[in-house]
């Protein structure tokens, strides 16, 4: 059973606007979450992570929010750039499985 879920297969935003990618998990024991970014013809690469002892982690234009009570995390990209167009995967460190991914398209 998929314990990490990304329910939006795709997202399209205008350059300069905010992109919000969502991820839900079912196991309350998960305590560390990671986001990966994947370009075509390449393997996924680590982007940003968050520990359950925090509710927010920021790295430049990327911020990840964690809502433990809702078992929900989100990745915010502000401002979005065309180079951010990729597939984004979330994962829980305790579980080696990934969400199905969300394809982000940032239009110029």
Partner 1 sequence: DAGVIQSPRHEVTEMGQEVTLRCKPISGHDYLFWYRQTMMRGLELLIYFNNNVPIDDSGMPEDRFSAKMPNASFSTLKIQPSEPRDSAVYFCASSGGITFLGKNIQYFGAGTRLSVL
**Binding region for partner 1 (CB under 8 A):** 6, 31-32, 34, 36, 41-46, 49, 51, 53, 89, 91, 93-94, 96-101
Instruction: Give the span between the Cα atoms of 26 and 34, in whole angstroms.
Output: 15
* Closer CB to partner 1, 26 or 45, in the complex: 45
* Closer CB to partner 1, 73 or 101, in the complex: 101
* Closer CB to partner 1, 26 or 94, in the complex: 94
Cis check: omega of the bond before 79, within 30 degrees of 0: yes
| Residue 7: CB minimum distance to partner 1, A | 12
Chain-centroid distance, C-alpha 44: 12
Q: Could you give the 3-state DSSP secondary structure of residue 84? A: helix
* Closer CB to partner 1, 17 or 54, in the complex: 54
Structure tokens belonging to residue 46: 């680590």
| Residue 14: CB minimum distance to partner 1, A | 26
| Residue 76: CB minimum distance to partner 1, A | 21
Q: Closest Cα to residue 77, out of 92, 88, 66?
A: 88
Phi and psi at residue 82, in whole multiples of 5°?
-55, -35
| Residue 29: CB minimum distance to partner 1, A | 11
């Amino acid at each position: 059973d998929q314990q990490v879920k990304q329910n939006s297969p795709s997202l399209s935003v205008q350059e300069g606007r905010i992109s919000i990618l969502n991820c839900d998990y079912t196991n309350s024991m998960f305590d560390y979450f990671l986001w990966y970014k994947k370009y075509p013809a390449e393997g996924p690469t680590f982007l940003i992570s968050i520990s359950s002892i925090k509710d927010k982690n920021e790295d430049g234009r990327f911020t990840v929010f964690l809502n433990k009570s809702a078992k929900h995390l989100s990745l915010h990209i502000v401002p979005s750039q065309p180079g951010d167009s990729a597939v984004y995967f979330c994962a829980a460190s305790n579980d080696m499985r990934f969400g199905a991914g969300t394809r982000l398209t940032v239009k110029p």
